[in-house]
């Protein structure tokens, strides 16, 4: 039987389960509440936020997130607040941090808010959430950019500050925020939505403790964490043991410097999973760095994928994981290195482990995918009203093939998750753009016995008289999604400007504040994923079906898959026209 540390009476397994469900329901209710009350599309459409409960010692109890990128980072925000304020916390206090090198963990746009929960005067837990604010100030609208050289250019820093004191706003701080962001109404709206979400969690936690008693709740939490650890250890036991290595490259640092190598050496033993990133490039001048907290989150995501993908994560799930990396690398950047496109580094920390293990763990992993968040900021005006409008969105792309399946077409990258593409109809009504095309991008890449999934092409034509300014970061522009066991590599991500007169500018991986006049077009293209196995082994009928559906070109069918002219002739007639 389970026993609490205090030696009080053992908790029966049914009560443990009921309280566990109650705790997870709180995180989910927080998530639903914030999504419904937020004012920014990046939160309510893209679900770029996460909510969690932690113990009074900042251990993760349960988390509901829209994106994998926030997995396990919320606890660091709580830890920072706990370290800084200690006993100086009272019921009704709410704190904020976005310090990337500390508890914030990603970039300044991601603001974590933390509320201590007291029951009968005792600190029993923390409620925490983290959301991407569309605007946090800085040198460029939308706050993230590809050519910053210092954090100071990337926005307003909130290094663990008290926003509400015993329920009352610290008006001075809110005024500073309002004065430093370009969309104060939206930003403060999100701040209040985050605060409301935390208060809701507080009420629910108090209800739970009132019903079952603080002691029982503590015991249930303890069991919950142990349960997570057991599942992780069982998952670890199923993995192959040994040393696995991989190397890959971040395109550049946004300022034209050389590719940045990322290296990992994974050691799997009976009771530990060690990811050692020694040998990874030093931090960059440009903003393709991430901090140690982001690295932790990136590795936690793939560790969970390998050991325990089906169960809600808690602190216990990560106990067998150890991450080694010296300070000052592109994955462990130090102040004041810029970090606003941190995902270009963080996602490599996830995928490099994946790449090292894919051939050895095919039942969990596929070939390489388009990887980058592939995000852009389009600064324009709202149609009709002429107000400033900032479109920020990640783009979906192609996933790698598995040992027994084709890759998925048009799916969000590993750093995103329950993320929704912005509908063309909503984009056109909200921003001064017209969507010209939104379709799979059919290129000759990613062929294999199982083929890589297709990336996307999305084209925006600028419709406002004043034009629009575009910043974009599409990593994996030079180093393509990798194939496995003879499967071909996928295709690169890129952005391209097509002028109103039809002149096409060269494809690029990054754009900083490019000006597009009315009628100019922004073309956003994401990569096809890597293939798995020799393309010549792909069954004929599958190649023919792909051809009929227009998912591969005639050239690939002939040259890569080896279809004869005879076989090809029968198909072309069946290819639908009207296109």
Partner 1 sequence: MRVATDIGGTFTDLVYVSPDGRVGLAKSPSTPPHFSQGVLDVIRKAGIDPGQVEGFVHGSTVVINALTERKGARTGLVTTRGFRDVLAIGRANRPDMYNMRFRKQAPFVPRQWRYEVTERIDYRGRVVTPLDEGDVRRVADQIAREGLEAVAVCFLHSYANPAHEQRCAELLRELLPGVAVSASHEITMEWREYERKSTVVLNAYVRPAASRYLERLESELKELGIGRGLEVMKSNGGTTPFAVARKQPIHLVESGPVAGVIGAQAVARRAGVDNIITLDIGGTTAKTSLVEAGQVRITTDYRIERDGRLPGYPIKVPVVDIVEIGAGGGSIARIDEAGAVRIGPKSAGSVPGPACYGRGGTQPTVTDANLLTGRLNPAYFLAGDLRLDPDKAKEAIRPLAERFGLPVEEAALGILRVANASMVNAIKLVSVRRGYDPRDFTLVAFGGGGPLHAAALAQELHIRRVLIPPAPGTFSALGMLATRPVQDFVRTRLLPSADEHMDQVKALFAAMKEEALAFMAASGFDPSRVHLRYLVDMRYRGQEHTVRVPVAAVDRQEMEARFHELHEQAYTFRLDSPVELVNFHVSAVCQETPVDVEALAPAFSGDGSPKGRRNVLFEGTGWVSCPVYERANLVPDRAVEGPAIIEEPTSTAVVHPGQRARVDELGNILVETGV
Rounded CA separation 210/149 (Å): 51
Q: What helix, strand, coil percent values describe the chain, rounded to 5?
A: 30, 25, 45
- Tell me whether the omega of the peptide bond preceding residue 223 falls within 30 degrees of 0, making it cis: no
Coil, strand or helix: which one is 144?
Answer: coil
Residues paired with 266 in a beta bridge: 244, 275
Residues between 330 and 359 that touch partner 1 (CB under 8 A): 354
- Which residue in the set 4, 32, 85, 444 belongs to the binding site for partner 1 (CB under 8 A)? 32
Q: Which is nearer to partner 1, 283 or 419 (CB)?
A: 419
Does residue 44 bind partner 1 (CB under 8 A)? yes
Sequence-ordered list of residues with C-beta below 8 angstroms from that of 314, at least 6 positions apart, any chain: 59, 60, 61, 62, 63, 224, 225, 228
Does residue 144 bind partner 1 (CB under 8 A)? no
Does residue 439 bind partner 1 (CB under 8 A)? yes
Angle of helix 292-307 relative to helix 214-238, nearest 10 degrees, comes to: 70
- Which residue in the set 191, 266, 414, 557 belongs to the binding site for partner 1 (CB under 8 A)? 414
- The residue count for binding partner 1 (CB under 8 A) is 92
Q: Which is nearer to partner 1, 58 or 427 (CB)?
A: 427
How far apart are CB 32 and partner 1 at their closest, in Å?
7
DSSP letters of 169-232?
E-HHHHHHHHHHSS-HHHHHHHHHHHHHHHHHHHHHHHHHHHHH-HHHHHHHHHHHHHHHHHHH
Q: Which is nearer to partner 1, 249 or 438 (CB)?
A: 438
Nearest-Å Rg of the Cα atoms of the chain is: 24
Does residue 145 bind partner 1 (CB under 8 A)? no
Rounded CA separation 349/347 (Å): 5
Does residue 438 bind partner 1 (CB under 8 A)? yes
Rounded CA separation 328/324 (Å): 13
DSSP letters of 454-498?
P-EEEEEEE-STT-EEEEEE---SSSPPPPBTTPPP----EEEEE
Q: Which is nearer to partner 1, 5 or 578 (CB)?
A: 578
How far apart are CB 552 and partner 1 at their closest, in Å?
11
Tracing tokens 């060690």 back to the chain, one arrives at 274
Does residue 418 bind partner 1 (CB under 8 A)? yes
Rounded CA separation 547/557 (Å): 7
292's tokens:
């140690």
Strand 321-324 relative to strand 273-276, pairing:
parallel
- Which residue in the set 11, 23, 27, 33 belongs to the binding site for partner 1 (CB under 8 A)? 33
How far apart are CB 133 and partner 1 at their closest, in Å?
13
Q: Which is nearer to partner 1, 79 or 493 (CB)?
A: 493
Which range touches partner 1 (CB under 8 A), out of 144-152, 185-193, 475-483, 503-511?
A: 185-193
How far apart are CB 422 and partner 1 at their closest, in Å?
9
Does residue 72 bind partner 1 (CB under 8 A)? no
- Which residue in the set 309, 328, 336, 539 belongs to the binding site for partner 1 (CB under 8 A)? 309
Per-residue binding letters, 227-256, with partner 1 (x by CB under 8 A): x--xx--x----------------------
Does residue 523 bind partner 1 (CB under 8 A)? no
Rounded CA separation 533/405 (Å): 11
- Which residue in the set 84, 265, 420, 505 belongs to the binding site for partner 1 (CB under 8 A)? 420
> How large is the greatest C-alpha to C-alpha distance in the chain, in angstroms?
81
Does residue 574 bind partner 1 (CB under 8 A)? yes
- Which residue in the set 169, 259, 383, 562 belongs to the binding site for partner 1 (CB under 8 A)? 383
Does residue 17 bind partner 1 (CB under 8 A)? yes
Q: Which is nearer to partner 1, 201 or 295 (CB)?
A: 201
Rounded CA separation 481/354 (Å): 12
- Which residue in the set 408, 447, 489, 520 belongs to the binding site for partner 1 (CB under 8 A)? 408
Residues between 541 and 560 that touch partner 1 (CB under 8 A): 548-551
How far apart are CB 119 and partner 1 at their closest, in Å?
19
Q: Which is nearer to partner 1, 151 or 294 (CB)?
A: 294
């Amino acid at each position: 039987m389970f026993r609490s540390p205090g030696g009080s009476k053992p908790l029966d397994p049914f009560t443990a389960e009921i309280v566990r469900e109650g705790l997870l329901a709180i995180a989910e209710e927080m998530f639903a509440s914030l999504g419904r009350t937020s004012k920014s599309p990046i939160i309510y459409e893209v679900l770029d936020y996460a909510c969690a409960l932690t113990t009074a010692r900042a251990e993760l109890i349960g988390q509901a997130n829209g994106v994998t990128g926030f997995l396990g980072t919320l606890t660091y925000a709580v830890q920072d607040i706990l370290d800084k304020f200690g006993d100086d916390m009272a019921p009704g206090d709410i704190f904020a941090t976005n310090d990337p090198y500390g508890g914030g963990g990603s970039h300044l746009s991601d603001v974590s808010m933390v509320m201590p929960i007291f029951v009968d005067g005792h600190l029993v837990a923390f409620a925490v959430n983290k959301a991407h604010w569309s605007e946090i100030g800085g040198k460029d609208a939308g706050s993230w950019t590809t050519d910053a050289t210092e954090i100071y250019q990337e926005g307003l820093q909130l290094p663990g500050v008290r926003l509400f004191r015993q329920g009352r706003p610290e008006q001075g701080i809110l005024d500073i925020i309002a004065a430093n962001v370009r969309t104060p109404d939206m930003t403060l709206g999100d701040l209040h939505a985050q605060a409301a979400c935390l208060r809701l969690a507080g009420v629910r936690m108090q209800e739970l403790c009132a019903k079952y008693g603080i002691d029982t709740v503590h015991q249930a939490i303890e069991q919950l964490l142990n349960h997570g650890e057991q599942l992780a250890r069982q998952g670890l036991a199923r993995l192959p043991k040994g040393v696995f290595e991989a190397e890959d490259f971040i395109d550049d640092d946004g300022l034209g410097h050389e590719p940045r190598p990322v290296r990992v050496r994974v050691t799997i033993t009976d009771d530990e999973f060690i990811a050692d990133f020694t040998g990874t490039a030093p931090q960059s001048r440009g903003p393709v760095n991430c901090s140690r907290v982001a690295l932790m989150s990136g590795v936690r995501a793939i560790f969970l994928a390998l050991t325990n993908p089906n169960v809600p994560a808690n602190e216990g799930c990560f106990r067998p994981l150890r991450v080694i990396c010296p300070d000052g690398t592109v994955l462990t950047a130090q102040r004041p290195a810029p970090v606003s496109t941190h995902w270009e580094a963080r996602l490599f920390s996830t995928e490099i482990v994946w790449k090292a293990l894919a051939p050895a763990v095919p039942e969990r992993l596929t070939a390489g995918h388009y990887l980058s968040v592939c995000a852009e900021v389009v600064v324009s005006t709202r149609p009709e009203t002429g107000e400033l409008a900032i479109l920020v969105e990640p783009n979906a792309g192609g996933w790698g093939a598995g040992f027994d399946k084709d890759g998925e077409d048009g799916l969000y990258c590993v750093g995103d998750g329950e993320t929704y593409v912005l509908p063309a109809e909503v984009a056109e009504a909200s921003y001064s753009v017209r969507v010209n095309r939104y379709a799979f991008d059919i290129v000759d890449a990613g062929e294999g016995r199982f083929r890589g999934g297709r990336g996307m092409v999305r084209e925006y034509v600028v419709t406002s008289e004043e034009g629009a300014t575009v910043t974009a970061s599409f990593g994996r522009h030079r180093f393509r999604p990798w194939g496995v066991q003879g499967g071909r590599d996928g295709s690169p991500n890129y952005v391209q400007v097509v002028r109103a007169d039809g002149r096409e500018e060269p494809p690029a991986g990054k754009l900083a504040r490019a000006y597009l006049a009315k009628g100019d077009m922004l073309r956003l293209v994401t990569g096809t994923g890597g293939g798995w196995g020799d393309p010549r082994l792909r069954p004929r009928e599958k190649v023919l079906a792909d051809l009929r559906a227009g998912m591969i070109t005639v050239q690939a069918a002939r040259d890569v898959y080896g279809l004869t002219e005879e076989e090809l002739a029968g198909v072309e007639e069946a290819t639908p026209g009207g296109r």
